[in-house]
Amino acid sequence: MLDLLVVGAGLSGLMAAYTAAQAGLQVRIVNKGLGSMHWNAGTVDLLGYIPGAEEKAVQRPLEAIATLLQKYSDHPYSLLEMKYVPSALHTFVALTEKLDIPYIGADDNEENLLLHSPVGVPRPTYLTPKAQLAGNLRRNAPILIVGFEGMLDFYPLLIAENLTKLGYQARAETLPMELLTNRRDANTVQLAHELDDVTRRTKLGRQLHELVGANERIGLPAILGMDAHAEVMADIEKLSGAPVFEIPTLPPSVPGIRLFRALQDGLKSMGVRIETAMEVSGAQKTISQNGTSERLAWLESKTTTRPLKHRAANFLLATGGILGGGFNSDADGRVWEVVLNLPLTMPQDRSKWFDSSFLSPGGHPVYTGGVRVNRDFQPVASDGTLLYENLWVAGNMLSGADPILERSLEGIAILTGMAAGQAIATR
């Protein structure tokens, strides 16, 4: 029998599975469809803003977490020992190096990087894939944004103009689409595959060399190779003669997909399978041996006929919040957790979901709600009693944070995923 069944193949589920498998557990992941990582910029945001504080990007997130927790004592970060945070992030970076998709940490000052958004707005983030590093806006160097004629959702002029307004030195150029593809229409993933081809990337590199001015760095949409990403980056930098960086795009987001694929391969080599298209929709509950709390005997996923049973000694839900599909809601104001109907902390009254101000600096209650857990990441009722003896929860299902507002999405996912995996393994 499996030691651990993880539900959800987002960053938290993958990192929980990795941690548990690393500790010797037999692990499997099931998920409903491929999701959150395909929308993800590929960076690791740890803490970018403190909600309700004056709107200033956090510079040193490891220190700022303490400030955050003074204000929001039930934040998921409060479940972690603070000395655990840097070491877990270090483990993550080491893993990405092993998987040939190296992430670069913030500099020695442990300061956030300021990287690019698809519309030319700086994003504070803590770790980045190597390919985005040269875009760091804390560094002073003129920027050339290069796009491609007819490419959807990537507008170099808009990006350059917005950067200029914010005081950065930036300009834009547009290259013909034929450089990348002969296809009538292609999305970011297909374009990334096209650039895996040596001839294509050589042509692009040479064209960039013609365009780039002295001391400029070049920002391109994040399509610089899929399978041959490292080689594509190296060739284009060499041929253009300038530092090159990727700007994450609208979905499908190639940097997120690269990380997903790397983690999937890494897990596979550890014997962890990811089974997609398994929507977990039920469970068999039993009473634990000591008779005090409930246990899960198995989870069930939908098939075309009879439910499929997934037996394991332990279960971890990492199905995400509203965005990831872990929670659902209806027009009456009900919000529920989709697998086990775990109790949620958000208001079950639609009129209380949102603050009256749309851009409320403190965020909206419906987004900060979630599953309440104890220090071992096990879900508990409002009075603190354990719900199931062998159930854990990690990532964006956890109550107490608005990760989009805080820019803490991947930090919470990675850190709570790993900590929960550790808690299961050491039990």
Partner 1 sequence: MYTESWLSVGPTLDECIKCNICTSYCPVAAVTDLFPGPKYAGPQAQRFRERGQKNSPDHSVDYCSGCRVCNEVCPSGVKIAEMNARARAQMAAEHGIPLRNRLLGRNELMGRIGSTVPRLASFGMQNPISRVVADKLFGISREAQLPSWNKGGTFGKWFKKSQSHRLKSEKKVVYFHGCGTMHYESFIGQAAVAVFEHNGFEVYVPSQNCCGLPLLSNGEFDTAEEYFDNNIRKLLEYVRRGLPIVGTTPSCTLTLKDEAPELLDRHDSDAHALSSAVWDIFEWLRDLHDQGELQTNFRRLEMILPYHAPCQYRAHLVGKPALEILSLIPGLDLRESHARCCGSAGTYGYKVEKYEISMAVGEELFSFVKAQGPDVNMTACDTETCRWQIERGTDLPSRHPIELLAAAYGLYDVEARTLLTN
Binding site for partner 1 (CB under 8 A): 32-36, 38-39, 183-185, 187-190, 193, 251-252, 257, 275-279, 301-306, 308-309, 311, 325
Minimum CB–partner distance for residue 252 and partner 1 (Å): 5
Q: What residue type is 198 in one-letter code?
A: V
My answer on whether omega of the bond before 124 falls inside 30° of 0, hence cis, is no
The CA-based angle 386-389-394, given to 5 degrees, is 75
Minimum CB–partner distance for residue 183 and partner 1 (Å): 6
**For partner 1, which is the closer residue by CB, 83 or 306?**
306
Minimum CB–partner distance for residue 22 and partner 1 (Å): 21
Distance CA(88)–CA(95), nearest Å, equals 11
Distance CA(243)–CA(220), nearest Å, equals 11
Q: What SS3 class is residue 114? A: strand
**For partner 1, which is the closer residue by CB, 187 or 374?**
187
Minimum CB–partner distance for residue 198 and partner 1 (Å): 18
Secondary structure element (H or E) that encloses residue 410, with its range: helix 409-425
Minimum CB–partner distance for residue 122 and partner 1 (Å): 25
Measured between alpha carbons, how far is residue 395 from residues 7, 269, 316, 376 in Å?
Answer: 12, 24, 10, 13
**For partner 1, which is the closer residue by CB, 1 or 359?**
1
**For partner 1, which is the closer residue by CB, 27 or 143?**
27
With beta carbons less than 8 A apart as the criterion, state whether 283 and 302 touch.
no
Token match 């409060």: residue?
Answer: 78
Secondary structure element (H or E) that encloses residue 13, with its range: helix 11-22
**For partner 1, which is the closer residue by CB, 56 or 184?**
184
**For partner 1, which is the closer residue by CB, 157 or 308?**
308
Q: What is the token pair recorded at 379? A: 């879900």
Minimum CB–partner distance for residue 35 and partner 1 (Å): 4
With beta carbons less than 8 A apart as the criterion, state whether 195 and 168 touch.
no
